[in-house]
Amino acid sequence: MELALTPLEFARRTRRLHPRREAVVDRGLRLTYEEFFDRCDRWSSVLQGMGVAKGDRVAYIAPNTHAQLESFYAVPQLGAVLVPVNFRLTADDFVYIVNHSGAKVLCAHADQLDTVDSVRDRMPDVERFVALEGAKPGWEDYEALVAEASPDYTAPEISETDLLTINYTSGTTARPKGVMITHRAAYMNSVGTLLHLRMDVGDRYLWTLPMFHANGWTYTWTVTAVGATHVCLPAMDPAKAFELIREEEVGWLCAAPTVLIMLSNASEEQRGEVPPGVQVVTAGASPAADTIERLEDGFGWTVTHVYGLTETAPFITVCEPRPEHRGLDAKERGTLKARQGVELITSGELLVVGDDGAEVPWDGETVGQITVRGNVVMAGYYNDPEATEKAMGNGWFRTGDAAVVHPDGYAEIQDRIKDVIISGGENISSVEVEGVLLRHPAVLEAAVVGVPHERWGETPRASVVLHEGESATEEEIIAFARDNLAHFKAPTQVEFVEQLPKTATGKIQKFVLRGGASAVTRQ
């Protein structure tokens, strides 16, 4: 009998081989794998008692805690579909995602309870609201339910093509799209990760990357697969991160470039003594070469750059080291490591193609679009056949990223075809931000692009045309945006202009805005 390719197989194996090995460290809580999986089973039993069945959706709004990690096992082993939600979004975003996914149960951390309460009457399909921490009236208490439950539940048959998660994008359009990831896609991403980034039994992994973000790049399952330890960090704080790295003997972490910047620029007081030998996996945007140099030469860490999207479960490429790289100096090595790299062995096929659909030459100069097909590509966008057809109608998923391929086969992104801003590893839709700015009574036109930022990698900059006779300040426009958007989506810069650069057909030329010669400046 064939076994389905599913991350649940990782759990089965680790239950057998490593029951007494430490699985999770979360603030004062320490769990062995036996204890961790017992909790997962108990929560599966509770969910089943709530009526959750195969195919039902269960949404979570939570930071990196043991309860959030448990969701990646307790929900899928029922054949249900996990919907991890970005906790940094607004109440309106929560409403849209929960309703669009059709979630039957909503679990939220203490920090999000009040926000959800303010809109829960707009979530008519949610039957149960569960507080993962900080239980209050109107919420069921997660820890109490787990403690009182039996670990017995009825496990359905799982197919590798069944949906495992629906992960909502946060920026390629004004409305997020639900990326459908199957058990097989997540399994293949984890296996490929372990082939290229060799984690071993007993290693210790620090959760600096949000678990909601593309399923924590599947490290929610990858760490478990080898019997390593999950060290939870609910909120990113450099001093706390360095403390955990020291005290918990952390050897691995994943982080967007913005977090690497925070760590590399931390003060001596925040850093303390920095243990060498930490393996760092980074993605979300190309890391700056000098950031890589500081981490590798200054801390004695090793940085590996990977590339992918939520739609590809998420890794497509890895900038793997080769023997010929050993002789490079620090600057050359940092420049090379900032490239996206080559296909993972398990990910499938990647081509950079021109407008004619043909592969571009490997000359490091000819620009094309990254397209992929194979084992890790999504099943499609949930309840959105039109967007699915547009993205992958010919069997190849079109990433929207423009890149060149160097003679050694390493891909390097030059720009984004889509006007997506990546700030702190999170996508921001320029269309969404523009839509909010246009609601300001003084704003006639607005265009938003990403500009470099020392801490976040990139942040939005708005070019604004005001109505004749109206006035506004930069501070006022930014405050208005922050009042109507998740704060990380708000512009950090606003320039007031007489007109925006446009084509003959009236389309705003955002490449001009990104280049800095953005518009005719308002005097």
CATH of the domain at 211: 3.40.50.12780
| Domain end (from 204, 219, 235) | 235
pTM of the model: 0.84
- For residues 339 and 406, the answer to whether their CB atoms sit within 8 Å is yes
Does residue 78 belong to any structural domain of this protein?
A: yes
Question: Is residue 381 located within the same domain as residue 394?
Answer: yes
Q: What is the mean pLDDT of residues 6-23?
A: 98
Q: How confident is the model at residue 516 (pLDDT cuts 50, 70, 90)?
A: low
Question: Is residue 222 located within the same domain as residue 353?
Answer: no
| Domain end (from 399, 416, 433) | 416
Question: Is residue 406 located within the same domain as residue 426?
Answer: no
How confident is the model at residue 518, as a pLDDT? 41
Does residue 478 belong to any structural domain of this protein?
A: yes
- For residues 416 and 400, the answer to whether their CB atoms sit within 8 Å is yes
Domain harbouring 381, CATH code: 2.30.38.10
Residue 286 predicted with pLDDT over 90: no
How many structural domains is the chain composed of?
Answer: 3
Q: How far is CA 224 from the centre of its chain?
A: 19
Domain harbouring 482, CATH code: 3.30.300.30
Question: Is residue 401 located within the same domain as residue 428?
Answer: no
From the CA atom positions of the chain, what is the Rg in Å? 23
Question: Is residue 376 located within the same domain as residue 449?
Answer: no
Residue 179 predicted with pLDDT over 60: yes
Coil/strand/helix, residue 212? coil
| Domain end (from 210, 235, 260) | 235
**What sign does the dihedral 194-195-200-203 (CA atoms) show?**
negative
Look at residues 503, 482, 92, 261 and name the one whose alpha carbon lies nearest to residue 462. 482
Does residue 229 belong to any structural domain of this protein?
A: yes
Question: Is residue 432 located within the same domain as residue 504?
Answer: yes
What count of other Cβ atoms lies within 10 Å of the Cβ of residue 438? 12
Question: Is residue 405 located within the same domain as residue 489?
Answer: no
Question: Is residue 436 located within the same domain as residue 484?
Answer: yes
Helices and strands: H and E segment counts in the chain: 19, 27
How confident is the model at residue 219, as a pLDDT? 98
Question: Is residue 365 located within the same domain as residue 484?
Answer: no
Question: Is residue 57 located within the same domain as residue 82?
Answer: yes
Does residue 273 belong to any structural domain of this protein?
A: no
Does residue 261 belong to any structural domain of this protein?
A: no
Coil/strand/helix, residue 515? helix
Q: How confident is the model at residue 521 (pLDDT cuts 50, 70, 90)?
A: very low
Whole-angstrom Cα distance, residue 6 to residue 9?
6
Helix (H) or strand (E) holding 306: strand 302-308
Range of the domain at 367: 347-416
Does residue 129 belong to any structural domain of this protein?
A: yes
Q: What is the mean pLDDT of residues 154-164?
A: 97
Does residue 1 belong to any structural domain of this protein?
A: no
Q: How confident is the model at residue 132 (pLDDT cuts 50, 70, 90)?
A: very high
Helix (H) or strand (E) holding 421: strand 420-423
